[in-house]
Amino acid sequence: MKKSSLLSNISSYLHALYQRYLQTTERSLNRAHEAASLIKAMEDEYFNGEQIPAQHALYGSSVMNYLHSELNKFLKTVRMSLTEFNFSRSWFSNFNQKTLKLARNNGLSIVNNTLDIQSKTYADAVLDKLTFIDQVVGKYTDIKEYSVDVPPQVTNIERIATDNIPQKSPPPKLTKRSESKAEETSVLPRSILRTLNRLKIELDPKSEEDVVQKFRYSQRRTFVSIKLVLLLVIVPFLTFQLSKHLIVSPIVERVRSTSASEIFLNYEMEEKALEQMQKYEEKLKFEQLLTGTEFSPPFLEEKIKAKVGDIAKMYRHESTDAIENVFADLCALAAFIWLLITSKREIAILKDFIDQVVYGLSDSAKAFIIILFTDIFVGFHSPHGWEVILSGVSRHLGLPENHSFIFLFIATFPVILDTIFKYWIFRYLNRISPSAVATYRNMNE
């Protein structure tokens, strides 16, 4: 009886493990199949079952951008789901073979036959779904991912709209010196050529469409950039607050309340507590001399004991808060890194937006911003600011304020930043906007 019950338990256990294995792979495969079905539905509805092109004569740029964004989302879902599917099969395949071998060794023929039948049926279903996914997604494997927010081609009307705004010049091409000299020289002055070009474009009937297209791209870029900046600020902050008060704080308080935890996390907290107690004793003596009344020793001892209890309670709370900050900061950092990983396209758009804003400023504004940042972070008064920042970070994490490390940091890091600023000005800004560098030198002198 015991042997039969043991065999039945092993049989049910193996069957449950196999069903869990099927659910793991089926979930990812069904997700990929559903995404491929949605792509097929888009092709059937809008393009008569054909591949979704980069451009189409029947639809405008806004419609195509929306369809491309949906296509990219579905393709990403298919790739992630198939990766999960392959990983789950490779992870569980060895285990599945071991369970079948164990079943055969124990004489579990019924379980063995059941697993074989289920494996064959499951393999047929998997092949059908994978074949459909390959037929749909295979059209887009050799095509780069559609870019929804790619700026339109720079037309002549765009040059007119941005003629008075300093633009970021492209990096110089590696051509022969004779060709570069030929490109720099011209028979007519550039101002006359720009005027003729402007007259030519103003007579172009497609100029209005180009302006509208440029405005729509600029509007999308601004919206995406502001949204990403807000997410990079709000999401880590909310993650820190929610994780600290809802997850970390209850766990830390429960652990510290049930164990004989230390009141002080570092020696500086203990020194500050001793200073507060000494000041309180001196305050009691001062009141005694000022009023002329003598306090009895038991009364003084009771007052000091109550004060020590308040000080210990305060520093215990401060130590607990510092421990909570460490774990909450890790959660906020993970959320920030997750945003950076999942927002690569938005980061590229934000970089383009910042370039347009910065290089669109006047020379005096550029010089003012450079001087402001350099004076704050690497200027004469910057060591005091860095000291305050490092002290605040130390208190936030419950670390002792290591003055040797703070002084070493102040002696090296601002110097490195100053070198980076000067190299950037010499290497890039001097090539992009020489007038801004001249204005910066004049203002700095």
Q: What's the mean pLDDT in 393-420?
A: 87
**Residue 398 pLDDT more than 50?**
yes
Distance CA 355, CA 418 (A): 22
pLDDT (average), residues 97-101: 49
For the cut 80, the answer to whether the pLDDT of residue 13 exceeds it is no
Q: Could you give phi then psi for residue 83, rounded to 5 degrees?
A: -65, -45
Q: Could you tell me the residue range of the domain that residue 131 belongs to?
A: 2-140
Within a domain: residue 182?
Answer: no
pLDDT digits (tens, 9 = 90+) for 126-162: 788 888 888 888 878 654 444 444 444 333 333 333 3
Q: For residues 330 and 378, state if they share a domain.
A: no
User: Can you tell me the mean pLDDT for 364-391?
Assistant: 85
- pLDDT of the residue at 115: 47
Do residues 246 and 332 both lie within one domain? yes
Q: Is the pLDDT of residue 318 over 80?
A: yes
237 pLDDT exceeds 80?
A: yes
pLDDT tens-digit series, residues 239-267: 999 999 999 988 888 887 765 667 888 88
Domain count, the chain: 3
Q: Looking at the structure, do residues 330 and 370 belong to the same domain, yes or no?
A: no
- Tell me, what's the pLDDT at 93? 53
Q: How many residues does the chain have?
A: 445
Residue 421 has pLDDT above 80, yes or no: yes
User: 422 and 391 in one domain?
Assistant: yes
Q: Which of 55-59, 385-389, 427-431 has the highest mean pLDDT?
A: 385-389
User: Does residue 181 surpass a pLDDT of 80?
Assistant: no
d(C-alpha 25, C-alpha 84), whole Å: 8
Please give the C-alpha separations between residue 229 and each of 32, 236, 351, in angstroms, as whole numbers: 32, 12, 11
Residue 136, Cβ density class (10 Å: 0-12 exposed, 13-18 middle, ≥19 buried): buried
367 and 344 fall within a common domain: no
Is the C-alpha dihedral spanning 418, 419, 424, 429 positive or negative? positive
430 and 338 share one domain = no
Q: How far apart are CA 424 and CA 369, in angstroms?
A: 14
Residue 193 lies in a domain: no
